[in-house]
Amino acid sequence: MTDHAATVPDRPAFAGTGLHTSDAAVRRLRARYAANRRLQAMGIGAISLALGLLGILLITMVSAGWTAFFQTYVTVEVDLAPEALGLEPGTTEPEAIRRGDFREVLIDSVAARLTGVDDATARRALRDMLAAAAPITLRNMVMDNPALLGQTIEFRALASDRVDQVYKGLIDRELVEDRRTISDQQLRFYDQMVEQDIIAAPFNWRFFSTADSRTPESAGIWGALVGSFYALSVCFLISFPMAIAAAIYLEEFAPKNRWTDLIEVNINNLAAVPSIVFGLLGLAVFIQFFGLPRSAPLVGGMVLALMTLPTIVIAARAALKAVPPSIREGALGMGASKHQTILHHVLPLAMPGILTGTIIGLAQALGETAPLLMIGMNAFITQAPDSITSPATALPTQIYIWADHPERGFVAKTSAGIMVLLGFLIVMNGMAIWLRKKFERRW
């Protein structure tokens, strides 16, 4: 009787013993084994389908977003003579340097390496091949170090999105000129840059060090990262202690009556409320009633705390309930009071499960978009926030903003932002698993 599946097709091994050896019994056994095989096949198929869809998602996202992690630059030697910049010799004041004509000096430096830049139209075409941030970066460099005036330096100028798209092979050069974002004249300039080896696409550190921009070549995710950090910090500081206190009261102190039953039902229902409802609540209460600043991580964190609180309460109660009653009985038997038993024995043993639930709740909050849109954390912010009350955006809302732009360069930025967000979610869930394994106690 150790291997029924192997004996059923002919005759059970116990045939002739009087134990269910009829043909009807054999057919029923065959049907049961067949149903078991079908169930296993359905499970394997479901897992395979899920892995296949996940693979398609990842491949699509990576193929569309990997280019955002590399950015095209044009490297030229720039003569920072004060006369060329329109500055007085010996100028060192930052405000005076700010008024220098760095754009034209940069265009002159690039034009000196090319042929055919002999009229205003050609210079305008060349100017459009460099990002608007390139001369600003050069100006800020000189303002930080006025000793550069009068020297010739090697400068890496940020290329415009159209040049970046050509360099990465995302623009079909065979299309007619009026169907391309880059003109034939600009393509000739680009080919000269390639021949002279002054154009390259290194890793795009700018993507992780700058905030949002109207142009895709200058847009970065740093401002959204800082905004998400502030919002999650506020969320954690509010939801974590409140959730633990509520869970301890409901699990250890609250009498079992219809009022506590009503509270438990409401907590479970709040965990299933759509997130946009919490956004509407934050807009009506925190912004309109209390007058807190719009688009601020403070409000965003408070809204996310309301949304995360039920999840952490449920996880904390489950962790407290998992502590064996013998721990409580032993502590009470040794003379500990009720609150000493909970704070010194039960809570430390339940903390791994509580931390796991908290991290999972914060990971859920990190990916929420709808409540943050309702309170205005989708504003165009070009500087990273410096406090919880400064205007800010967050990772999911930044991705939403980029997805709404028509420029092709923002398509890659959107996918890259999703990759960064998924990376943070994977790290946070990995932390939850690690904490569970590290502090897990078996009784």
Q: How far apart are CA 215 and CA 374, in angstroms?
A: 25
Confidence of residue 74 (pLDDT cuts 50, 70, 90): very high
Confidence of residue 92 (pLDDT cuts 50, 70, 90): confident
If we measure between CA atoms, which residue out of 91, 117, 114, 86 comes closest to residue 102?
Answer: 86
Question: For residues 216 and 204, is the Cβ–Cβ distance under 8 A?
Answer: no
Res. 258: pLDDT tops 70: yes
Span of 3-7, 175-179, 226-230, 371-375 with lowest mean pLDDT:
3-7
Higher pLDDT, 12 or 438: 438
E strands along 28-166, which residues? 73-79, 152-158
- When pLDDT is averaged across residues 281-301 and rounded to a whole number, the result is 93
The CATH number assigned to the domain with range 222-439 reads 1.10.3720.10
Identify the pLDDT of residue 5.
45
So where are the chain's domains?
1-33, 71-202, 222-439
Question: What are the tens digits of pLDDT across the range 109-163?
Answer: 999 999 999 899 999 999 999 999 999 999 999 999 999 999 999 999 999 999 9
Instruction: Spell 117-137 as b/e; 16+ CB within 10 A means b.
Output: beeeebbebbbbbbbbbbbeb
Across the chain, mean pLDDT equals 89
Res. 180: pLDDT tops 70: yes
Q: How far apart are CA 348 and CA 298, in angstroms?
A: 30
If we measure between CA atoms, which residue out of 129, 106, 105, 104 comes closest to residue 192?
Answer: 129
- When pLDDT is averaged across residues 289-311 and rounded to a whole number, the result is 93
Identify the pLDDT of residue 7.
47
Strand order in the sheet with 199-200: 152-158, 73-79, 199-200
Res. 16: pLDDT tops 70: no
Instruction: Output phi, psi for 333, to 5 deg.
Output: -65, -25
DSSP class per residue in 343-411: IIIIHHHHHHHHHHHHHHHHHHHHT--HHHHHTTTT----S--SSTTS----HHHHHHHHHT--STHHH
Q: What angle do CA 93, 94, 96 make, to 5 degrees?
A: 70
Beta-carbon contacts of residue 334 (< 8 Å; ≥ 6 apart) = none
Question: What are the tens digits of pLDDT across the range 386-443?
Answer: 999 999 999 999 999 999 888 888 999 999 999 999 999 888 888 888 877 777 766 5
Rounded to the nearest angstrom, the gap between the alpha carbon of residue 223 and the centroid of all alpha carbons in its chain is 12
Identify the pLDDT of residue 240.
94
Rounded percentage of the chain residues whose pLDDT exceeds 90? 66
Higher pLDDT, 374 or 5: 374
**Could you tell me where the DSSP H helices lie in 71-132?**
82-85, 94-98, 102-111, 120-127
Identify the pLDDT of residue 435.
79
Res. 106: pLDDT tops 90: yes
Confidence of residue 2 (pLDDT cuts 50, 70, 90): very low
Instruction: Spell 151-168 as b/e; 16+ CB within 10 A means b.
Output: eeeebebbbbbbbbbbbb
Res. 215: pLDDT tops 80: yes
Instruction: Report the residue count for the chain.
Output: 443
Identify the pLDDT of residue 25.
84
- What is the token pair recorded at 117? 């830049």
Beta-carbon contacts of residue 72 (< 8 Å; ≥ 6 apart) = 158, 159, 163, 164, 167, 168, 199, 200, 201, 217
> Beta-carbon neighbour count of residue 87 at 10 Å?
20
Identify the pLDDT of residue 443.
59
pTM of this prediction?
0.85
Identify the pLDDT of residue 6.
46
Q: How far apart are CA 381 and CA 296, in angstroms?
A: 11
Res. 20: pLDDT tops 80: no
